[in-house]
Amino acid sequence: MHQIVQCVPNFSEGLDQATVDKITAPFASQEGIKLLDIQTDADHNRMVVTVLGPAPAVKKAVLEAMARAVELIDMTRHKGQHPRMGAVDVVPFIPIKEMDMADAVALAKAVAAEAADALGLPIFLYEQAASAPHRVNLAAVRKGQFEGMPEKLKDPQWRPDFGPARIHPTAGVTAVGARAPLVAFNVNLDTGRIEIADTIARRVRHIGGGLRYCKAMGVALEDRGQVQVSMNMTDFSRTSLYQAVELIRIEARRYGVSVAGSEVVGLVPMQALVDCAAYYMGLEQFSMTQVLETHLL
């Protein structure tokens, strides 16, 4: 059985389609890799690529795409609303099958070492691959952005894990890491009052005292006259989707508001949904090997 990894590299180009095509070509052409999504955002001037495949094939294609991005993107001319610090801004690896987090960390470190060496790029390890606690959070690593990096890298606290202790003149700095699969999960409320979604979001999210692996904010759904608690579930194996739904339901109750529905945005691992079915139906002793399709993987 192959080790299957997901990789969601973010590149600082979301406007020029020719450049987008050149950078993503290694994913499209590499044998065995599924190129699941290329999401470009003009306002962010950024693209988010989602690929899935055997670890060696993903590694090879990612390194090639990183080289192309370093060659093609000039950060000294980059403008965009999303925080960014490099041409290859961030490269997270997510263990999917026949591999655990330690394997994903090892893969992240190998890619970081090779890319730093081949491209002369300073690279920080982050999230599960981080070399120190203050480097775990990507926002902390990226703070200062491209323009602030020359100064930041002089601080011994921010010496890169790989590559030179100075920015690449046009490609800046890159973060490579490993993390659990993230599920974008939203719960809709049958009210148009945004302050209720905001308040509930603050109650259910980790930072506000809520669920450990849940980030949340309130969003208005103007056309539906509803509001939404929009969440990133950062480790569904520890904080389940049903916990978020039920916690939102009981919080909504104090406003006389009900849960109108929910949605998963993008991909979700099978286990995350099976956990929910198992909870609501009280399934006992269920094993993922009972899911017929696992025998086809």
Taking the complex as a whole, the smallest distance from the CB of residue 279 to its own copies amounts, in Å, to: 8
Distance, CA of 173 to CA of 91 (rounded, Å): 12
Considering beta carbons, is residue 157 or 285 the nearer one to its own copies?
A: 285
Taking the complex as a whole, the smallest distance from the CB of residue 281 to its own copies amounts, in Å, to: 5
Site residues, its own copies (CB under 8 A): 4, 6, 34, 36, 52, 96-97, 181, 188, 241-242, 245, 259-264, 266-270, 273-274, 276-278, 280-286, 290-297
Helix/strand/coil for 54:
strand
Taking the complex as a whole, the smallest distance from the CB of residue 280 to its own copies amounts, in Å, to: 4
Q: Pick left, alpha or beta for residue 133 (phi over 0 → left; psi -120 to 50 → alpha; otherwise beta).
A: alpha
Query: Does the annotation count 82 as an active-site position?
Result: yes
Q: Convert 124-143 into a string of H (helix), E (strand) and C (coil).
A: EEEECCCCCHHHCCHHHHHC
Taking the complex as a whole, the smallest distance from the CB of residue 125 to its own copies amounts, in Å, to: 24
Q: How many Cα atoms within 13 Å fall on the side-chain side of residue 60?
A: 12
Taking the complex as a whole, the smallest distance from the CB of residue 237 to its own copies amounts, in Å, to: 14
Sign of the CA dihedral running 182, 183, 184, 190 = negative
Cβ-proximal residues to 170 (8 Å cutoff; 6+ apart), any chain:
70, 73, 74, 75, 76, 87
Token digits for 297? Answer: 């993987």
Considering beta carbons, is residue 256 or 282 the nearer one to its own copies?
A: 282
Considering beta carbons, is residue 32 or 192 the nearer one to its own copies?
A: 32
Catalytic position from the list 78, 82, 134, 168: 82
Distance, CA of 175 to CA of 191 (rounded, Å): 40
- Given a contact cutoff of 8 angstroms between Cβ atoms, the answer to whether 272 and 191 are in contact is no
Considering beta carbons, is residue 165 or 297 the nearer one to its own copies?
A: 297
Considering beta carbons, is residue 150 or 192 the nearer one to its own copies?
A: 192
**What separation in angstroms does the CA of 167 have from each of 119, 158, 180?**
12, 12, 29
* Angle at 33 (CA atoms; ends 31, 34), nearest 5 degrees: 135
Taking the complex as a whole, the smallest distance from the CB of residue 33 to its own copies amounts, in Å, to: 11
Count of beta carbons in the 10 Å neighbourhood of residue 228:
23
Distance, CA of 87 to CA of 84 (rounded, Å): 8
Query: Which residues are annotated as catalytic?
Result: 82
